[in-house]
Amino acid sequence: PTKGKLFDSLDRYVLEDYDNKKAFSDFLPGVAGIFGKPMWSFYVNRGQGIASFGVESKNYPLMKFDSANLAYQNTPFLGFRTFIQGSRGGEDFLTEPFSPANAKDGYDDEDKPNRYMYVGLADMEIQEIDDVNGIETKATYFILPEENFGAFVRKASFTNIGDTPVTLSLLDGLAKMEPKGGPLDWMLNNLGRTLEGWFEVDHFESNPAYPIYKMSSEPSDSASVKIEEGGNFVLSVLEGDDSTSFLPVVFDPTKVFGQGSSLVSPRELTVKSVGDILNGPQYGFATTSCALTALNEVTLGAGESIGFTTYFGAVEKVDQVAAIIDSIKGAGYAQAKLDRTREIMDELSAGVTTETGSHLFNGHVKQMYIDNGLRGGVPIMLGDVDETTLGKSTDEDPRVKVFHTFSRIHGDLERDYNWFNIDMTYFSQGPGNYRDIAQNRRNDVIFQPRLGSFDILEFLSFIQADAYEPLTVEAIAFKIDDKAKATAICDEAVGTGLEVLGHYNQLVDILTNGFVRPGQLFQLMDQLGIELIMDKWKFINSVIAAAEYIPIAQFGEGFWADHWDYYIDLIKAFLMVFPDGEEKLMYEHELKYFFSPASVNPRSRKYVLDYTFDYKGKHVEQLGATYWDQSKLDAQKGYLDKATGRIGEAANWQSQEDGAAFTSTPIAKLFLLGSIKFATRDAYGMGVEYEGGKPGWNDAMNGLVGMVGSGMPETYELHQLLSYVLSVVEKFDRGLVIPAELGVMIGKVNDALDTLDATGYEASEDLDSLSRAVPADLFTYWDTVATARETYRAQTKYSFSGVTVELSGEDAAAMIKRWIAQINLGIERAFKIGSQGYGDSGHTGISPCYFSYDITQWEENGGTDADGRPTVNALAMSVGSFPLFLEGPTRYMKTIEGDLEKMADTYSKVLGSGLRDTELNMYFISASLKGQNPSMGRMMGFSPGWLENQSIWVHMSYKYYLQLIRGGMYEKLFDEMKAGGMLPFMDPDVYGRSLMECSSFIASSAFPDPSRHGEGFLARLSGSTAEFLSIYALMMYGPEPFFIDEDKTLKMQLVPAIPLWLFKDDFTVSFLLFSAIKVTYNNSLKTDLFRENPSSYKIYYKDGLTKEVEGSIIPTDIAIDIRRVYTVDSIDVFF
């Protein structure tokens, strides 16, 4: 590559001398195509890159999973190694490409090799150019795509770059290879030496080229012994021009490293040849083996190369290796698969192909789109069985459904606390955290309008009766209720002959007797030997079109205060595309309520009297806020299916007294959610209480729950939620049907408001002289409303009665307006109470984020918690403040988007506050936490500038930037972007990793070590991708690409927000509308296009027809064609 060039010819990001740069971790995407079986793989910029890989989870490694700090140290020695014995012109040499001993260090680099790392969407490659020995070594890593087996692939090549012939013998592969033998992560880290007693290496067909790494049995002390029938395989294929051969694999590390257990040096190669090792005995029992492919005595002329490809994977039965050998032995197979895996990732990212004047920006959009999909799932449309479904959304045809593939929880070398899982099946995916999935699917409908309201309905169904949500979202599952439909599919799928009758009946049973996911369906069919006689795509589309689906989630732990924050964003994205579908969405669906096995304790059981941290006094904390509710678990057992021994899926949904699942319309569920959150505001009416055991998204504020804390972010989201419900009720003049129990609760809430009004407190309140002590009238209101909330929860703990009440549209609107007025008053109080921190006067005019409440008077109520501490009832409170957090003003901006003056004022105040990192031109997650109470959370244990303690938390910064474009602050947003506040415009040497990829946090200027300032950590899978894509959509589409005109008909208008510097030399910018229709903005004005109305459009249809539109509004018929996507080819927009 050209020195200093950022991209190679394949558009991969180039890191020169990568192993002498700041250490970072990354991963291959774990995508093998829809009909492929992926593996996971992590890499670092040390040694030969790959730090660990395996199948499904950390429990099944082929190369052991290490946290990043260990991976940086271990990878050069325990990972992939290459040892070359060479001879040129009578001179012998022994060298190890990519050895840290030869890494450039900036001091004596003249004779050291040049090294490069190439980071692509699909693959990662390393290259070493060793001019001293005249050898170029390359290794490309990727996940094998579109096979019925999974494999991690290393494609290595060796080139003679000298002027004379060279003879090479080499060993290349893993220094440590783990065996197959059940879940191993914990045992490898805690019982590693004992575990080796089960290790062995066998050889399939006794061939030294077919080693199988396995355990004799799964390690345990139970009475049942499970013999390991499978194994991890290593197969290395030497490719010639038209033939292939398999190379032997050295598995005994002592034959290479001798007794050097550190594996630093290949001692034996100084006295033995590779041929000697191959001809001698090897042993693979009771030790961790290696997996080094051997190539013996090959002569290369000047410029000649030789290469081989090694496949690593796992099989359940050793004899399955035979079919794998047959699959991979064809000439050109490896290159074809590498090309295909690149094509797959290009296809997945093609929907955001963008042509601007910035190649960095164009590539970054693709990377962010891919990473957003890997966290939230890539939506695949299923159910297309004929032309009648073409272009239709899930709302238009019940046969059309969505399945999200390739997603996983964001666990990696740096996020070692998260347990990721990637199913090794077709349509692979894994579970994700609720917040992550809800955020990262926000823009699905914008890029794929056929999704319709699918995501919204799924997430709203997870709202529980108590207004909380589960922790983990899993992939939806399908079942065909109509057996006649299932048999019709099976007739075509497997045939009707007697010879397939058994498989026919098995497939009918699978399709009708339980919910399965697409990958599980194919896996079961494979295990049972059911062979399709029709195309796989046609089969799965037929199944899904005929099937019903269910959302699936799991409780996990605690109830997070912010999971509901993301619903309005989902709805707003939907309305950008389907404003004419709002009434149907809100009123014409019936949704269930998720039934969690946990419950929220009332205050009388979670307000606990305990000693202060210094044991000098006592105070009240909120502890044990939620608990596993055995009575709920017992209730779920009533849904036990005796035939399968499993709890039926109906147990996951709240019932009514007659046993049927209770349902409400989406708008009614949103109203229920808003009602309960309104009844959960703190004693001063400012923040929403963190009373479910967990804080909001910033879970490093974990101690805030114990401090009886509350958050303004949730208040601002409540303001948005109730404002939306109000707009729907008024727009469609329709009432709300709600559970009778909720009707009773809101009656008590409104009575409490009447009582508060009667006291005259609010009428006489002086906001400029608010006391820290909560006024008695406000405390009484809070206590009354909280009691009403707790009574409601007790009544609906197991089921609803099934009785409903209807609120008229007029009554509902009046009630919501009154509540919003109360919320606005609470916001005013919050600004007056203010923040409080190091160097913070408390009068910045910036929204505070968090409050705590000290219970200053209490009475013991006779109860105790699980640890025997007395529980109390609160009698009086005082409010405490915290330093500024960026989330406060960011969420506040949602409530002032239409007020440019307030937006500008807030931006100016934040810019001049302790939230601004002036060194990096970025924004801290928080102002200085110096002097704060350690009880507020684990963030206080981190160094300033690191993790959640005053670092640059990229996701929160991007939320802030999103609010700038939403609020019309276009110049400010793009100034921030271009100045390096956003990727990809940061300094690559400072950032320390690919500019294409986002980090979760950046070490800020508050960090003690200035050399780390600006360095990115925790790679890629974060919510920042969702915020970026929202910014991108607003840049390219505008805020309302589809809207309802004054004549009540659908219209379309494209009004971008693109700065002049992003236009190409010909003053054009292009993107793909709905991932399919190329839109080109022609900027003859040669200026920033910040919500300029177009002068005209040209719409080009696929049949050759062209339609021209004068003016800025696209009429209804053409707008509908564009939204249907499939008939329109491209659009030119003129300014």
Average pLDDT of the residues in 447-468? 97
SS3 letters for 197-252?
A: HHEEEEEHHHCCCCEEEEECECCCCCCCCCECCCEEEEEEEEECCCCEEECCEECC
Count of Cβ atoms closer than 10 Å to residue 943 Cβ: 15
- Its sign, for the CA torsion 939, 940, 942, 946, is positive
Average pLDDT of the residues in 393-407? 96
DSSP secondary structure letter of residue 561: T
Return the closest-CA partner of residue 130 out of 157, 101, 161, 151. 161
pLDDT in the model for residue 642: 72
In our burial notation (b when 16+ CB lie closer than 10 A, e otherwise), range 153-174 reads bbbbbbbbbbeeebebbbbbbb
Residue position matching structure tokens 């034996």? 268
**Beta pairing class for 135-143 and 244-246:** unpaired
C-alpha to C-alpha distance for 198 and 211, rounded to whole angstroms: 16
Q: Please determine, for residue 643, whether its predicted confidence score (pLDDT) is greater than 80.
A: no
Give CA angle at 357 (356, 360), nearest 5°.
Answer: 85
What's the pLDDT band for 1020 if we cut at 50, 70, 90? very high
pLDDT in the model for residue 1019: 87
Give the tens place of pLDDT for each residue, 88-119.
999 999 999 999 999 998 887 888 999 999 99
Q: Which residues contact 643 (CB under 8 A, 6 or more apart)?
A: none
pLDDT in the model for residue 2: 55
Q: Which residues contact 1057 (CB under 8 A, 6 or more apart)?
A: 965, 970, 1034, 1035, 1038, 1089, 1090, 1091
Average pLDDT of the residues in 1090-1118? 98
Query: What are the distances in angstroms from CA 696 to CA 564, 710, 715, 762?
Result: 10, 9, 12, 29
pLDDT in the model for residue 844: 92
Q: Which residues contact 800 (CB under 8 A, 6 or more apart)?
A: 465, 593, 654, 655, 656, 657, 662, 739, 741
Mean pLDDT of the chain: 96
Average pLDDT of the residues in 1024-1046? 97
The answer to whether the beta carbons of residues 894 and 963 sit under 8 Å apart is yes
Give the tens place of pLDDT for each residue, 973-1001.
999 999 999 999 999 999 999 999 999 99
Average pLDDT of the residues in 288-307? 97
Residue position matching structure tokens 């704060």? 932
What's the pLDDT band for 453 if we cut at 50, 70, 90? very high
Q: How many alpha carbons lie under 13 Å from residue 101 in its C-beta half-sphere?
A: 8
C-alpha to C-alpha distance for 993 and 989, rounded to whole angstroms: 8
Give CA angle at 484 (481, 487), nearest 5°.
Answer: 105
* Token pair in block for residue 975: 């100034």
Peptide bond between residue 984 and the one before it cis (omega within 30 degrees of 0) = yes
Average pLDDT of the residues in 281-306? 97
Average pLDDT of the residues in 326-355? 96
Count of Cβ atoms closer than 10 Å to residue 183 Cβ: 14
Count of Cβ atoms closer than 10 Å to residue 979 Cβ: 13
Q: Which residues contact 1048 (CB under 8 A, 6 or more apart)?
A: none
Q: Please determine, for residue 584, whether its predicted confidence score (pLDDT) is greater than 70.
A: yes
Return the closest-CA partner of residue 512 out of 540, 463, 545, 547. 547
Query: What are the distances in angstroms from CA 534 to CA 20, 496, 713?
Result: 53, 13, 53
Task: Please list the alpha-helical segments (H only) found in 293-332.
Answer: 321-328
Average pLDDT of the residues in 581-594? 98
Give the tens place of pLDDT for each residue, 164-190.
999 999 999 999 999 999 999 999 999
% of the chain at pLDDT higher than 90: 92
What's the pLDDT band for 3 if we cut at 50, 70, 90? low
